[in-house]
Structure 1
Amino acid sequence: MNWKSILKKTGMYLLKVFLVILVIAVAFIGGVMLGYGVIGDGGSPMDVFKPELWQHILDFFM
């Protein structure tokens, strides 16, 4: 093995890890928007980006 193949394999591994994290983040944001805005009794799905909403949710756990 030479350094070029090691760097290529490492780069591909890091790219895969980044893509998995990105897909998880997009699924989380989409799921929260769907759950709050469409399924739940919330208003606009964009309201999930308001800090007041998350503070209200965290108040239930503390």
Structure 2
Amino acid sequence: MDQKENLHFVGNQILLILFVILLALIIFAIGLMVGYGVIGDGSNIWAILSPEKWQELIGKFTGK
């Protein structure tokens, strides 16, 4: 019974960690969209989440 309780505890902790990571990613994405839409050009807040925009940004920083 003790091993089952330990496994349940570990499972709960892993779920909590995954929830916190997911929440952090969502908050990060919202922050990117607000920053890009308000501080940036503001044309399309969803554009910051596209791979093309990230390739453009990385290219600006790396010079490629």
User: TM-score w.r.t. structure 2 length?
Assistant: 0.83
Specify the alignment match of 2:61 in structure 1.
Answer: 61
Q: Quick check: 1:48 aligned with 2:55?
A: no
How far off its partner does 1:51 sit? 2.0
Is there any run of 5+ residues in structure 1 with no aligned partner, and where? none
Q: Which amino acid aligns with 1:34?
A: V
String of CA shifts for 1:28-57, please: whole Å, max 9, x gaps.
100000000122223111111222211110
What RMSD, in angstroms, separates the aligned Cα atoms of the two structures? 1.4
Aligned length in residues: 62
Aligned equivalents of 2:52 and 2:12: distance in 1? 39
Over the matched positions of the two proteins, sequence identity in percent amounts to: 39
Flag as ranges the 4+ runs of structure 1 deviating above 6 A: none
User: TM-score w.r.t. structure 1 length?
Assistant: 0.85
Q: Quick check: 1:39 aligned with 2:56?
A: no
Q: Which amino acid aligns with 1:37?
A: G
User: RCO (CA 8 Å, sep 6+): is it higher in 1 or 2?
Assistant: 2
